[in-house]
Amino acid sequence: MPGIAFTINGSRREVQAPGDTPLLYVLRNDLELSGPQFGCGLSQCGACSVLVDGKEERSCTLPVSRVGGKEVTTLEGLPGRWAGQHGLAVASVALHPVQQAWIDEQVPQCGFCQNGMMIKAAELLEQTPAPTLPQIKNAFMTGASPHLCRCGSYAAILEAVQHASMLIARQKGTQQ
Amino acid sequence: MTATLSRRQFVKTGGALFVGFGLVGRNVFDASAAAAGSRNSLDAALASSWFEIHADNTMVLRTGKVDFGQTTAHTAYKQIVAEELNVPFEAITSVVMGDTDRTPDGGFSAGFLEYGGTNLRKAAAYTYQALLDLAAAKLGVAKSALTVQDGIVSGGGKKISYGELVKGQELNLTIPVTGDLTSMFGLTVTGDPPMKPTRDYKIIGQSYQNSVTPSKVSAKETWVTDVRLPGMLHGRVVHPKTLGSTLVKVADLNKSRYPNAQLIVKGNLVGVVAPTEWEAIGAAQQVAADTQWSDWKGLPGNPDLHRWLREEADWKTTPPAKGEKNKGDAVSARSAAVKSLTTSYELPFMKHAPIGPTVAVGDARADGTFYIHTHNQNPQALRGQIAMMLGTPIDNVVVRIYSGPGHYGRSNGGNAGAEDEAILLSQAVKKPVRVQWMRPEDLQWSTSSPPAVSNIRIGWDASGKITAYEADHYMPAMQDDRLVGALLAKLPTPPAPEASAPAGSLGSTVNAIQDPWIYERVPNVAETGYGTFQIGQKASPLGIGLRDHSMRTPGQLQQNFPRELAISEAAAQAGIDAIEFRLRQSDDARLRGVLTAVRDASGWQTRPSPSPRAAANGGTPVTGQGVSAMLRSGTYWACVCQVSVTPSSGKVKVDKYTIAVDPGIVVNPLQLKRTIEGGALMGLSHALYEEMTFDQSSITSRDWRSYPILTMDDVPEIKVVILPHPEVGAYGGGSEAANALAVSAIAAAFYDATGKIARRLPLKSAYVQSVLKA
């Protein structure tokens, strides 16, 4: 079986798996990454979201063969991604601003969906560092489906994305 | 539960509070570490089973409750214990939750403050007194002359830390407990130890952060989905074609396509295991496609549900339940009333719908022990049920708990779904097996929140004072704790809900009055609950049918929705503002407090309903307001929803949700606010979207398209007003009620906006349009 090679959280890896295996199972079972979660297996909830070349994708239905040669970022890779984008040493960044904001605002209830919520927030803020409230709401309605939270943490998520935007602005101010 | 603790051997901790680290923490990837842990129980009579104080004055706290996202175990429980013991919040560096061999008390993970919180508060209070006794002897100072701050005991010019005090010492202390560990309720700490006066609280009332949040947001948490054991196989279960189908002929496994998979059949339980998850999924799909099941049609189908409940269900076998506050002669008073209202309300089946389907790893070991790694609201009850299913002593079963998706009550009787199937497949292949339900299975084979029909009759006098309130509530049983895998495999389970429930369970068909009556000025009250069996359960050859389980605000949502909406309807007919009308029915200062607070905070317009601008047609949105109130677990709640309705499209949108809450003592305002916000949005979801669909054979809600829930688009402005009343002296619950309050407030607001009353949920476009045209 030929291997499938892609970049995962900054490192190049080759995996041995049937090409139709959904990326999620490869990430969780072969690469032992625990950020993306199995929520539906149908691209209907967003718990499994990852960034593929910077775009939010549902790993539960995305065949691993489709990410060959691409750059995949999971929740684990968000701090490193932020470091790389801002010329910082990877070791100096423990948390992406989105993750810090999620702690500061105490967003999670059960937290099972928050992987996808943070991936979506990171995608949004890379494109739009200072989004309006309607832009934030809209972001979580985009992709293969709306991002679902059963505990109802949506209000906390809205506050946290605004908080992350403020953290990003503050960090950029510090760098200048 | 007929299984008992047959040969319980307690972990030997010798009564000392200082015990080794070996019992704490978890390392499931290391089989030797798991084996070194006891397969038995902790002795809840020992302080060391609850708390572990280390030489450096840090502490471990152990609770049988499992945090499902309310954050209670990681914030409120630490605050309660730190407060009673006079140690800093930060001194409690670890919380062990749920593991049946590592926690003392068991019971369901619900009513966290009322049950588990009281246990911990008392256990800590007993321990504090014992520590003072120890310090008095050690320092040679009278106990009454000792003071404690930050875990340091001082007196007579001398000081000693708890850590130094307990090192190698025996505590002369037995914590009195009562109850059955593996029952629904677990153990209860009894007696009345001296407790810290609430006026001296320094830690309770502060907004501490949840110590688990950093690991959850940085992918460092060990979730239930992450458990991997050496040699573990991935399993999938091929569930029957319908909720009553038995196995006719199982398909052959296609070994050329799935060379490493194995097929397991036990009664009607058909399972597949394979070394990789993708092979297990493929093999299960292949077997499912070719396996033959008998046909079964024993359900009314959801379009006919409420007619069936009214006309065909058996409400006679189960004794009716009377409200505790029933008084006077409501029937006579209503016929004498100046005006009266007779209405009827309907609620659908709803799903708990955890965002992640149930998953568990079963490990049937060669030494006759059974380890289950799962995410469950009642691990000790599960332990008892698994022992019963397998016919093994409870001591042989250990349940280990991990973080996972919220269950909202579905597993509070010990059954999340995958556990029993995982252990049965593991037993068959003699290797650990991980069973992950897929999304359709989690909606179609899990329990549901039961539907309801309520008939309400209200009479009032010329001054707008209610003179008679009558309610007849009808709802099928809501606590089925049978393991579905055991039913399929024809193995022993606890009984299905029957008219009389076994002791220590909630599994009866009696429909108790769950919504406490709060309008105590009403002189004549007659509330009656009528119960029945689960729909299709007795007719199903599998004994399955539509199984139900308590959800979030169990039974109370089903009774509060009709009560509060009917009272809003009565207020409208009386021509009185809906908040003012409620205030006239009660002198209770706490109820009046939340009602006036929510009125002031929400921008409520004081006027009768419907709105002067109400309209039931046209393409322009019309707006309205609605209110509701509730008493739950010692907490008073009132909520106002403001909605927009677009009559032509039938679209209902909630613009603002305001809630006022008086729980007595507020333990953690920040976490309370977040939990309330979550509950509020779940309530919007119930009101606007949620209805489990089913045909004559099966549940047809199978994914997030056929069972839609609230999305970000629907999020309104949310305002939470917290009204602390520490003089009450108790911590009222805070994680349940916001959802139930939303549904009646939204329905009342819909009436205010349109002048038309919708007496059932959800308010989907087609139903809304039919109501507006009526």
| pLDDT over 50 at B21, yes or no | no
Q: Is the pLDDT of residue B26 over 60?
A: no
At residue B22 the predicted structure's pLDDT band, cuts being 50, 70 and 90, is very low
Mutation test of the interface with chain B: which of A24, A73, A99, A150, choosing the one with the most B Cβ atoms within 10 A?
A150
Q: Round to whole Å and give the CA distance between B657 and B18.
A: 49
The dihedral through the CA atoms of B590, B593, B597, B598 has a sign that is: positive
Residues 6+ apart with CB under 8 A from B742: B628, B639, B641, B654, B657, B680, B682, B683, B684, B686, B687
Asked whether the beta carbons of residue A112 and residue B226 sit closer than 8 angstroms, the reply is no
Q: Does A88 touch chain B (CB under 8 A)?
A: no
Contact (Cβ atoms closer than 8 angstroms) between residue B245 and residue B293: yes
How does DSSP classify residue B729?
A: -
Whether the CB-CB separation of B376 and B385 falls below 8 Å is answered with no
Contact partners, residue B528, CB within 8 Å, separation at least 6 = B320, B321, B322, B323, B471, B472, B473, B513
Pairing of strands B433-436, B359-364: antiparallel
* pLDDT reported for residue B9: 31
Q: What is the pLDDT of residue B113?
A: 86
Task: State residue A153's pLDDT score.
Answer: 98
pLDDT at B28 over 60: no
- Are β-strands B370-374 and B359-364 bridged in parallel, bridged antiparallel, or unpaired? antiparallel
Least confident of B24-33, B483-492, B669-678: B24-33
Tokens representing residue B555 in the block: 């039974």
The residue ranges of DSSP E strands in B114-268, in sequence order, are: 147-149, 152-155, 158-161, 177-180, 186-189, 233-238, 247-249, 262-266
Q: CA-to-CA distance for A74 and A67, rounded, in angstroms?
A: 13
Q: φ, ψ for residue B419 (rounded to 5)? A: -65, -50
Task: Please compute the mean of the pLDDT values over residues B642-671 and round it to a whole number.
Answer: 97
Question: Beta strand B233-238 with B186-189: parallel, antiparallel or unpaired?
Answer: unpaired
Q: Do A106 and B674 touch (CB under 8 A)?
A: yes
- Count the residues in chain A: 176
Q: List chain B domain ranges.
A: 21-219, 225-296+358-436, 586-773
φ/ψ of residue B178, rounded to 5: -140, 160
Peptide bond into B762 cis (omega under 30): yes
pTM of the model: 0.95
In this prediction, residues B42-54 reach a mean pLDDT of 90
CATH of domain B586-773: 3.30.365.10
pLDDT at A78: 98
Classified as helix, coil or strand, B113 is helix
Read off the tokens for B331: 């029937």
Q: Which of residues 143-172 of A touch B (CB under 8 A)?
A: 145-158
Which residue in this structure is represented by tokens 């500061």?
Answer: A104
For residues B394 and B361, is the Cβ–Cβ distance under 8 A? no
Residues contacting residue B521 through CB under 8 Å, at least 6 positions apart: B465, B466, B584, B585, B586, B587
Place of tokens 């029993």: B420
DSSP A70-95: -EEE-GGGHHHHHHHHTT--GGG-SS
The helix/strand/coil state of B158 is strand
Reported as type and span, the H/E element at residue B133 is: helix B118-139
CA B400 to chain CA centroid, nearest Å: 19
Is residue B110 predicted with pLDDT exceeding 90?
no
8 Å CB contact of B278 and A22: yes
Question: How far, in Å, CA of B738 to CA of B661, rounded?
Answer: 9
The Cα–Cα gap between B707 and B692 comes to 7
Question: With an 8 Å Cβ cutoff, is A106 touching chain B?
Answer: yes
At B137, which amino acid appears? A
pLDDT digits (tens, 9 = 90+) for B712-736: 999 999 999 999 999 998 888 887 8
Query: Nearest CA to B423 among B268, B269, B221?
Result: B269
3-state SS class at B638: strand
B610 preceded by cis ω (within 30°)? Answer: yes
Task: Give rounded-to-5 percent helix, strand, coil for chain B.
Answer: 30, 20, 50
What does the alpha-carbon distance between residue A28 and residue A23 come to, in Å, rounded to a whole number? Answer: 9
- Residue pLDDT tens, chain A, 176 long: 679 999 999 999 999 999 999 999 999 999 999 999 999 999 999 999 999 999 999 999 999 999 999 999 999 999 999 999 999 999 999 999 999 999 999 999 999 999 999 999 999 999 999 999 999 999 999 999 999 999 999 999 999 999 999 999 998 887 65
Distance CA B471, CA A48 (A): 46
pLDDT at B270 over 60: yes
Cβ of B767: how many Cβ atoms within 10 Å? 15
B620 phi and psi, to 5 degrees? -95, 130
Contacts of B217 in chain A (CB under 8 A): 75, 95, 99, 102-103, 107-108, 111, 114, 118
Confidence (pLDDT) at B504: 58
CA–CA separation, A69 and B403 (whole Å): 34
Of B219, B221, B711, the CB nearest to A148: B711
Structure tokens at B292: 């033959």
Radius of gyration of chain A measured on its C-alpha atoms: 16
Indicate the average pLDDT of chain B.
Answer: 92
Q: Could you report the per-residue pLDDT of B570-619, keeping only the tens digit for each?
A: 999 999 999 999 999 999 999 999 999 999 999 999 999 999 999 999 99
Query: How close B28 gets to chain A, by Cα (Å)?
Result: 15
**Distance from the first to the final alpha carbon of chain B:** 51
pLDDT tens digits for range B422-434: 999 999 999 999 9
- CA atoms of A173 and A97, how far apart (whole Å): 14
pLDDT of residue B554: 95
Domain with CATH 3.10.20.30 in chain A: 4-76
Q: Which of B502, B426, B379, B459 is closest to B2 using CA atoms? A: B502
A158 → closest Cβ in B405, B670, B715: B715
User: Would the CB atoms of A109 and B70 count as touching at under 8 Å?
Assistant: yes
Return the closest-CA partner of residue A21 out of A52, A50, A62, A69.
A62
Which among B747, B538, B756 is positioned nearest to B639, based on CA atoms? B747
**Tell me, what's the pLDDT at B503?**
61
Could A29 and B277 be called an inter-chain contact, meaning their C-beta atoms sit closer than 8 Å?
yes
Distances (CA, A) of B134 to A163, B53, B128, B191: 49, 14, 10, 21
What's the CATH class of domain B225-296+358-436?
Answer: alpha beta
Looking at the partner chain, which of A25, A79, A103 has a beta carbon nearest the beta carbon of B214?
Answer: A103
Half-sphere exposure of B581 (CA within 13 A, CB side): 30
Instruction: Give mean pLDDT, residues B436-460.
Output: 98
With beta carbons under 8 A apart, name residues in chain B contacting A150.
Answer: 353-355, 405-406, 408, 682, 709
Question: What's the CA gap between B767 and B614, in Å, rounded?
Answer: 18
> Is domain B21-219 classified as CATH 3.40.50.1820?
no
Backbone Cα Rg of chain B: 27
Q: Which secondary structure element, helix H or strand E, spans residue A170, and what is its range?
A: helix A154-175
What's the pLDDT score for residue A79? Answer: 98
- Place B5 in a pLDDT band, splitting at 50, 70 and 90: very low
**What is the arithmetic mean of pLDDT over B361-379?**
97
Helices B738-754 + B669-688 axis angle, to 10: 50
- Taking only the tens place, the pLDDT of each residue in B475-533 is 999 999 999 999 999 999 999 999 987 665 678 999 999 999 999 999 999 999 999 99
Q: What is the pLDDT of residues B218-244, one digit of tens each?
A: 999 999 999 999 999 999 999 999 999
Architecture category of domain A4-76 in CATH: Roll (3.10)
Q: How far is A79 from chain B (nearest CA, A)?
A: 9
Nearest CA in chain A to B437: A40
Sheet with B397-401: strands ordered across: B262-266, B269-274, B233-238, B433-436, B359-364, B370-374, B397-401
Residue window 14-43, chain A: list those with CB within 8 Å of chain B. Answer: 17-18, 20-22, 25, 28-29, 33-35, 37-42
Is the pLDDT higher at B31 or at B552? B552
Q: What is the ipTM of this complex?
A: 0.97
pLDDT at B36 over 90: no
| pLDDT of residue B536 exceeding 70 | yes
Closest residue by Cα to residue B381 from B105, B107, B111, B117:
B107
In which residue ranges of chain A is CATH 1.10.150.120 found? Answer: 78-175
Query: Taking CB atoms and an 8 Å limit, are B355 and A17 in contact across chains?
Result: no
Structure tokens at A48: 């499994």
CATH number of A78-175: 1.10.150.120
Angle ∠(A132,A60,A145) on CA atoms, nearest 5: 35
Cβ–Cβ gap A95/B218 under 8 Å: yes
Q: How far is CA B165 from the centre of its chain?
A: 40
